[in-house]
Structure 1
């Protein structure tokens, strides 16, 4: 079969600004949390911080378990954008917001009924159960606002409005950070944090909808037709099956720890998990523009165009992300100790183990995930996710008995690695997707970058520096290492052909 020019007639370099602004938009909340975590631990104490972390875990869990709606919005908004269908986009926004309000109301009713039992089951200290109960009652409104902000963000992503999105995200996070450091002090009630978080989600929702208003036309009928609901519902159901495995492979770890150990260990785990997911997320910032681009390509050029797009992107993605993953995994444990202090070295171990699994997953599944979503075949993502979950569950008990808290996350990491390799097999069967060999400079470049990063962070750790400024300092050796690797690898990656040979 002859080669097909990719990228919907746009050069690859046009992705760079979009990826950069997408990265800024998604990095802002993560960086805000990294900066605020040492402050919150000091202001609230580890027990209170553990309770707050537990509420965030529950919120993240419920956000994933939304029927697959949130994960499907970007793809369908991109389809409407490719067709210039403003009425379809308007119906999608109205319907998604209505569903999110209903979900929030349902969660609120459940929390009203089960809050006392939950605070006991999760081993919340007696002195904090009143605050924890009020936090749980805020969970429903928080869920509605978090999902609504995702819906508004998906609209801007689908239209390539990443510069605007970056401004909205950065502004809302700055406002939130200032409010937290100003209003949350020693002995402050935890519900105040929930109100401030809700304010950030509301600010993002309103600003993004206002910015995206020109891409919408809200007319009767306000809701999607039966055919549109069936199309969206089928896709969302498959995405929910994949999303449920995200819960089993991630959020459930915190719930297992909460059930078996004092609540402060949820905070220990949450700190390591936060560091690992923050580092994992950097490559994922490219997903929205990649998914939008590949969806447009598929809409215009069909499956051959999408396959060509995959080959073009994956040849550069795989070596870059693998190098990034090796370097950050090696440095993660040291960086967490620099961030929070040596007494939380266990959080560093959690971060390093999780990041090893994430690195393999993102490198091998990242562009493939965009591909199967763009062509409307998310069932392949679901199959690999469930395979990963099965491996994780099979390993959890024996590894936990051997290694404790670290064993819990080790089972997760090994499950992610096994599932990722299985996904490559599924995509090869689906459309013949294959990876090129890594460039011959990849191994020496990665080893050199790792040595530079680890040596630099060891020196910083020996100085005794701690906190968010020290964490930023710890990032400099990592950046130096990655820069060294980039200087060696980029000439080879730039020389790769733009098209697959006939």
Structure 2
């Protein structure tokens, strides 16, 4: 029972009293839906814009732009854990009705982000020649690439400020407003790109438009959240809160660092070992794999809430029972989704970008295979360890994945090029996921049930339907975002066919 004692802080106070349980669960469904829309908007914008940018910029110039976005994503993750910690502290102020505390946190975080942007700008001014040389940027593109590196600091400050506005809305349960702000800013950005970016040296213009999107997200988000903010002196959080925030942020940064090592570093390895155009090849495949990986993750908030509530009421034995109920449904559904999407994503990427980018299709297939194993076996376990107050187990498996990935990356890259980079990541994710299964079995007795008897034939039928349908669409020779939507129809049909077979079997399993 030791884990139950240690997990006191995640507690009944956060779970709320039992009587309003049903209304809260009912309200959670639309909140999850709007939160998913807010998260999906940037991914959808990128899916629409990628073929347009490749066509108008060319693969080399698109590779340079992808490299800048990799730098931006890396620096956003490595912000000291500030961005990842804001939602928790905003929520704490919201729970106490402390609008002045929220205002101080907003001002303090924006000040930190402006400082980080200035620091990155200075570093880029000093290191631009070395970065351009190390990334093997073609001489004809070095002027544009240098301008983008100079703009990286302001882009970082604006991107982090947009994350701050997002955290404010999330903490105050303004998910509908967040979906509107995120979707609106992405729509304006996509329209501006398609109207203004043409063939030629348009990378600096693209950076300006990206900065505009972050600025629009920040301003609109803060305006919508203004009723939760009160500006009072002193303008900065008190020393005790800064100390508390800093301690929490350091822990969040340690977890976030593994995300960087298992994701963004792959693009940096590609940039260091291969010509810059391969960064674009990698980025396109990575984008497709991440978009498909994200779909099951939209279910995390309600699963975490439910597991936390059960743990607060029934302790560790209740949480273990709840895990087995949830995992019995999660594993076959997510594995089926993973198999079907992995089998068809390579064809879908070629429908999206054309057969000339078959290498991006291979990148997406390999990455998604690793992601599918990870999400299927670690998804509910991650919610479990967080709910009982032991997130250290999640960190342990994440670092195990990272070490395996780092050990394999360079040799596999030298052997297989850009596919070797993602192969190392997929192997690392798979090894780490299995290690997490072993860890959870040892300390809490979490076990897997056998998959339903009909799982294999149902999944095989679904995968065959998806692959055959996408092959027919690929043979039509259509490419772009609209044909990509068409390529999704056979996948949906296959998943629907599998779903028709699995529920009856799942019910039989539960009663046996």
The question of a shared fold, defined as TM-score above 0.5 by the shorter chain, is answered with yes
Query: Does the 8 Å CA contact 2:267/2:283 hold for their aligned counterparts?
Result: yes
Query: CA 1:212 to 1:28, structure 2 compared with 1: closer, same or farther past 3 Å?
Result: same
Question: Which residue of the partner structure matches residue 252 of structure 2?
Answer: 239
Query: Does the 8 Å CA contact 1:341/1:466 hold for their aligned counterparts?
Result: yes
Question: Which residue of the partner structure matches residue 361 of structure 1?
Answer: 374
> Unpaired runs of 5+ in structure 2?
5-10
* Separation in 2, partners of 1:93, 1:303: 37
Q: How far is the alpha carbon of 1:413 from its aligned partner?
A: 0.4
Question: Which residue of the partner structure matches residue 492 of structure 2?
Answer: 479
2:269 aligns with one of 256, 263, 282 = 256
Question: Which residue of the partner structure matches residue 456 of structure 2?
Answer: 443
Question: Which residue of the partner structure matches residue 111 of structure 1?
Answer: 124
> Unpaired runs of 5+ in structure 1?
498-502
User: What CA deviation, in whole Å up to 9, does each residue of 1:437-479 have, x standing for no partner?
Assistant: 4444433332221111111111111121211111111011111
* Separation in 1, partners of 2:306, 2:164: 19
Query: Does the 8 Å CA contact 2:144/2:201 hold for their aligned counterparts?
Result: no
Q: How far is the alpha carbon of 1:16 from its aligned partner?
A: 3.0
* Separation in 2, partners of 1:172, 1:351: 27
Question: Which residue of the partner structure matches residue 168 of structure 2?
Answer: 155
TM-score, normalised relative to structure 2:
0.88
2:330 aligns with one of 317, 336, 341 = 317
* Separation in 2, partners of 1:299, 1:167: 34
* Separation in 2, partners of 1:81, 1:303: 29
Query: Does the 8 Å CA contact 2:15/2:312 hold for their aligned counterparts?
Result: no
The within-5 A match list for 1:7-86 is 8=16, 9=18, 10-11=21-22, 14-82=27-95, 84-86=97-99
* Separation in 2, partners of 1:100, 1:306: 39
* Separation in 2, partners of 1:193, 1:38: 15
Question: Which residue of the partner structure matches residue 436 of structure 2?
Answer: 423
Give the SS at the match of 1:255. Answer: helix
Question: Which residue of the partner structure matches residue 178 of structure 1?
Answer: 191
Q: How far is the alpha carbon of 1:357 from its aligned partner?
A: 0.8
* Separation in 1, partners of 2:289, 2:185: 23
Query: CA 1:376 to 1:132, structure 2 compared with 1: closer, same or farther past 3 Å?
Result: farther
Deviates more, 1:442-451 or 1:142-151: 442-451
Question: Which residue of the partner structure matches residue 124 of structure 1?
Answer: 137
Q: How far is the alpha carbon of 1:161 from its aligned partner?
A: 2.3
Give the SS at the match of 2:202. Answer: coil
Query: Does the 8 Å CA contact 1:350/1:406 hold for their aligned counterparts?
Result: yes
The within-5 A match list for 1:326-337 is 326-337=339-350
* Separation in 1, partners of 2:239, 2:373: 40
Give the SS at the match of 1:49. Answer: helix
Question: Which residue of the partner structure matches residue 224 of structure 1?
Answer: 237
Give the SS at the match of 1:241. Answer: helix
Question: Which residue of the partner structure matches residue 341 of structure 1?
Answer: 354
Confirm or deny that 1:139 pairs with 2:149. Answer: no
